[in-house]
Amino acid sequence: MPPPADIVKVAIEWPGAFPKLMEIDQVSCITIPLFRSYFFSQNRNNIKNGSILRLTTSAAQVAQQLHERIQSSSMDMKLDALKDLANSSRDITFAQEFINLDGISLLTQMVESGTERYQKLQKIMKPCFGDLLSFTLTAFVELMDHGIVSWDTFSLAFIKKIASYVCKSAMDTAVLQRSLAILESMVLNSQDLYQKVAQEITIGQLIPHLQGTDQDIQTYTIAVINALFLKSPEEKRQVQTKVTHCFKQLRSIILSNVIRSNKPINDEMAHQLYVLQVLTFNLLEDRMMTKMDPQDQAQRDIIFELRRIAFDVECESNNSGSIEKRKSMYTRDYKKLGFINHVNPAVDFTQIPPGMLALDNMLYFARHHQDAYIRIVLENSSREDKHECPFGRSSIELTKMLCEILKVGELPSENCHDFHPMFFTHDRSFEEFFCICIQLLNKTWKEMRATSEDFNKVMQVVKEQITRALTIKPNSLDQFKSRLQNLSYTEILKLRQSERMNQEDFQSRPILELREKIQPEIMELIKQQRLNRLCEGTCFRKISSRRRQDKFWYCRLSPNHKVLHYGDLEESPQGEVPHDSLQDKLPVADIKAVVTGKDCPHMKEKGALKQNKELLELAFSVLYESDEYLNFIAPDKHEYCVWTDGLNALLGKEMTSEFTRSDMDTLLNMEMKLRLLDLENIQIPEVPPPIPKEPSNYDFVYDCN
């Protein structure tokens, strides 16, 4: 007779006794924490055969005990209790029980006033005081991270106290980290708290933390700065003035103390630098989306300034010559400057994007690189009409292209680390970037011997040159310029020809038939690779309202491809995590479907995350039973494709990710080259050779001897 379905066999551990193998009735109530995750009456059905459980006090009782202990008059007892609280608060079951006891209010009161009585003893008990405050703030951060309590409930006194820890010159590192994390969360999660934090903290008070050597402190500091910039509710023009001034202060400090420091930049720091880079470039959006007013004299004066610098002429007085003569001179000069509308070039800047940003770039180039500007204009004005490179039109289209490449106006991605060090080397990095690229465009135009009909072709080549140069992440604008020198039009042609030949070689009919024949073998190879990667497993990060959470969980497929093992981790693993340390299991046979993007339950639940396109592209869920699901957010696009492909392969479905297509092309082309090695330099005919006529007899088949 088979055992009842409600009975599971597990190993039970408890303090002061030897572990025992026991049978547990899932219908009865039991409270068991596993890796700081409690099993209780609502989720006891998750207990599987073979689980190792630890019998302990219920979450409610532990919360009650800690709530009482942290109010003890004994410093040692209080310190131990806060340390235990900081560790226990990571579990949502415990957190809920502690919060129900009004634990958050107790912690904030300790921060606001309770620590003051200990500050008198700080000189003789400084280590103890630092630990006490550190554990208090750690517990607070962990409890708030569960999203149970609103950030809008905190008093101004609490905010002032946290801000004071950040403003102090000599503060315990752990306390400073937690304080910065709290300020970042306040700013990101509450507009009202943003106003209060902004009144307490200035950029000048944060800068000293960037000049230290602790990269974690530097990361938290830049995160707070990014949050303040991102949530600023002021008018765009005020924000632009404020942030531009702040960025000039920050740029040189970040460059010397972070980017060019001896320590390698970790992923989180790279992300924060990327966010700062995006926010800085987004200041250009206002000018990019502003049309020029052809009737605005101040804006028209900028065009007059471009003409004056290029042709070394002063604005003629009203009495110098007839109106028709002056109009003719202006029209001639505007044509030489390369504007589309020779009569009224202001009309050229009514297209958005790039709007007035293009005119700003042209004026910056004319004033700060005057020799290069004059040379380009005069060179092209001396060419034949069809061979001249129109400076005005080129500048407008180039500005639009650069905005597309740098994604000006788009919000930062949650998981991107794509910052460029060279943009931190100059206060006017975008303008300098434009100046380098406009000279590249003129050089490429000459190399291509282009005419006006080739304008779009030239722009395509220039875009390819710029994007290829950016892929190596130059450390300075000079390095970027040097890289462009090596990417001449001739070099681009060679690269294109090489890529084209590789494609054309495999388009003949016999080759296509061979590709079709071996394609199933390659697909099976890709499938095995995906399943092997699932067996190795992946560490996933838990995403919440405060992005930087060092909370992880791991998932891997069993070697027999029948079970998914998963569980929470304390920190990111250095290698594979063994199956026996992952407490939860999901049989592959129970999986009903794999959904991605906005169809995932956790993307529907979290409105803020739902709006993030990049996060949606990394989300997928495994649905099992009736309404159960296992939610994932992949660390990057590659892991997303590996897991969605592998899960679809387990379910017998087609693998459709872009990485599967890429791997298929790579492996198929490699296999084709290997099989065709003996035919190198031999022309393969498009049609098979004709079958020869039958011989007159078949005597040669037989050996008469």
In a domain, 63, yes or no: no
- Mean pLDDT, rounded, of the chain: 83
pLDDT beyond 80 at 141:
yes
Taking alpha carbons only, the member of 68, 72, 61, 139 closest to residue 97 is 61
- Which of 465, 500, 535 lies at the terminal end of a domain, its last residue? 500
- Residue scoring higher pLDDT (278 or 695): 278
564/586 same-domain check: yes
Confidence of residue 691 (pLDDT cuts 50, 70, 90): confident
In angstroms, rounded to a whole number, what is the distance separating the alpha carbons of residues 478 and 491? 20
In angstroms, rounded to a whole number, what is the distance separating the alpha carbons of residues 633 and 543? 8
Q: What is the pLDDT of residues 369-383, one digit of tens each?
A: 999 999 999 988 877
Share of the chain above pLDDT 90, in %: 38
In angstroms, rounded to a whole number, what is the distance separating the alpha carbons of residues 200 and 33? 41
Q: In sequence order, what are the residues at sequence separation of 6 or more whose Cβ sits closer than 8 angstroms to the Cβ of residue 705?
A: none
249/155 same-domain check: yes
In a domain, 696, yes or no: no
pLDDT beyond 60 at 114:
no
In angstroms, rounded to a whole number, what is the distance separating the alpha carbons of residues 263 and 261? 5
In a domain, 514, yes or no: no
In angstroms, rounded to a whole number, what is the distance separating the alpha carbons of residues 24 and 449? 83
In angstroms, rounded to a whole number, what is the distance separating the alpha carbons of residues 354 and 376? 22
Report which secondary-structure segment, H or E, holds 72.
none
Residue for token digits 């020029």?
A: 292
Share of the chain above pLDDT 70, in %: 80
342/450 same-domain check: yes
- Residue scoring higher pLDDT (425 or 700): 425
Q: In sequence order, what are the residues at sequence separation of 6 or more whose Cβ sits closer than 8 angstroms to the Cβ of residue 15?
A: none
pLDDT reported for residue 491 = 92
Distances 478 to 285, 368, 474, 686 between C-alpha atoms, Å: 26, 16, 8, 50
In a domain, 2, yes or no: no
251/173 same-domain check: yes
In a domain, 176, yes or no: yes
**Helices 126-145 and 75-88: angle between axes, nearest 10 degrees:** 30
In angstroms, rounded to a whole number, what is the distance separating the alpha carbons of residues 485 and 481? 6
Q: In sequence order, what are the residues at sequence separation of 6 or more whose Cβ sits closer than 8 angstroms to the Cβ of residue 200?
A: 159, 160, 163, 167
pTM, to two decimals: 0.73
In angstroms, rounded to a whole number, what is the distance separating the alpha carbons of residues 595 and 572? 26
pLDDT beyond 80 at 337:
yes
458/326 same-domain check: yes
- Which of 500, 530, 558 lies at the terminal end of a domain, its last residue? 500
Burial of 629 per CB tally in 10 Å (0-12, 13-18, 19+): middle
Q: In sequence order, what are the residues at sequence separation of 6 or more whose Cβ sits closer than 8 angstroms to the Cβ of residue 546?
A: 141, 144, 145, 181, 184, 185, 188, 189
pLDDT reported for residue 540 = 87
143/162 same-domain check: no
3-state helix, strand, coil in the chain (%, to 5): 60, 10, 30
pLDDT beyond 80 at 54:
no
In angstroms, rounded to a whole number, what is the distance separating the alpha carbons of residues 306 and 426? 24
528/636 same-domain check: yes
In a domain, 485, yes or no: yes
Q: DSSP letters along 216-280, please?
A: HHHHHHHHHHHHHHHT--S-HHHHHHHHHHHHHHHHHHHIIIIITSSSPPPHHHHHHHHHHHHHH
In a domain, 448, yes or no: yes
In angstroms, rounded to a whole number, what is the distance separating the alpha carbons of residues 705 and 697? 18
478/353 same-domain check: yes
Of how many residues is the chain composed? 705
Tokens of 586: 């999901």
Give the β-pairing of 32-34 and 37-39: antiparallel
- Residue scoring higher pLDDT (251 or 397): 397
Contact 78, 70 (CB under 8 A): yes
Tokens of 488: 């001449």
- Residue scoring higher pLDDT (509 or 439): 439
Confidence of residue 306 (pLDDT cuts 50, 70, 90): very high
Q: What is the pLDDT of residues 405-423, one digit of tens each?
A: 999 998 888 878 889 999 9
413/550 same-domain check: no
255/315 same-domain check: no
DSSP β-bridge partners for residue 630: 622
In angstroms, rounded to a whole number, what is the distance separating the alpha carbons of residues 231 and 386? 50
Count of C-beta atoms within a 10 Å radius of residue 641: 21
Q: In sequence order, what are the residues at sequence separation of 6 or more whose Cβ sits closer than 8 angstroms to the Cβ of residue 633?
A: 540, 541, 543, 602, 615, 618, 619
Q: What is the pLDDT of residues 449-498, one digit of tens each?
A: 999 899 999 999 999 999 999 999 999 999 999 999 999 999 999 888 87
In angstroms, rounded to a whole number, what is the distance separating the alpha carbons of residues 129 and 174? 12
310/182 same-domain check: no
In angstroms, rounded to a whole number, what is the distance separating the alpha carbons of residues 614 and 271? 14
312: left (phi over 0), alpha (psi -120 to 50) or beta: left
Residue for token digits 């009456």?
A: 41
Contact 193, 154 (CB under 8 A): yes
In a domain, 66, yes or no: no
Using the Cα atoms of residue 314, residue 320, residue 321 and residue 327 in order, give the sign of their dihedral: positive
For 573-624, the three-class secondary structure string (H helix, E strand, C coil) is: CCCCCCHHHCCEEEEHHHEEEEEEHHHCHHHHHCHHHHCCHHHHCCEEEEEE
pLDDT beyond 90 at 359:
yes
Number of domains comprising the chain: 5
Domain limits for position 98: 72-149
Direct distance between the N- and C-terminal alpha carbons of the chain, in angstroms, rounded to an integer: 78
Residue for token digits 């919060």?
A: 99
- Which of 116, 149, 182 lies at the terminal end of a domain, its last residue? 149
472/402 same-domain check: yes
- Where does 71-214 have alpha helices with state H? 75-88, 92-100, 103-109, 116-119, 126-145, 156-167, 173-189, 191-200, 203-210
pLDDT reported for residue 112 = 84
Q: What amino acid is encoded at 165 in this protein?
A: Y
Q: What single DSSP character describes residue 539?
A: E
Q: Is the peptide bond before 233 cis (omega within 30 degrees of 0)?
A: no
DSSP β-bridge partners for residue 569: 552
pLDDT beyond 90 at 329:
no
Confidence of residue 613 (pLDDT cuts 50, 70, 90): low
